[in-house]
Amino acid sequence: MAEDYENYSDYERDFFMAVDRNTLSEQAIFDALSTIGDDQYYTLFEVEVEHVCGPAHVQVFPERAGTLYRCLNCGVSGIIGG
């Protein structure tokens, strides 16, 4: 992956690699919840995924507008989808 960023400055490379890590971790959270049923929406889950901070437990709350998440290791939170 590093070769994809060889024409960028160190600052740009760090930024795009951080975006890639975040995208991969959000995809892992999404994949962990991909089989939930309609009756499981609006239920708090905890999943273990590779987050941007490393292996972590992440709280997720799926709802119709998107999935809210919060990493219990580093405290980062966000919304997936929408």
Tokens of 40: 């499981």
Band of pLDDT at residue 61, cut at 50, 70 and 90:
very high
**Residue 39: φ, ψ to 5°:** -75, -5
E-state strands within 1-82: 45-51, 54-63, 66-71, 77-80
Give residue limits of the domains in the chain: 2-80
Please give the Cα distance from 51 to 42 (Å, whole number).
22
Most confidently modeled range among 27-31, 40-44, 48-52, 69-73: 69-73
Which residue type occupies 28?
A
**Predicted structure pTM score:** 0.72
pLDDT digits (tens, 9 = 90+) for 3-25: 677 788 889 988 988 888 888 88
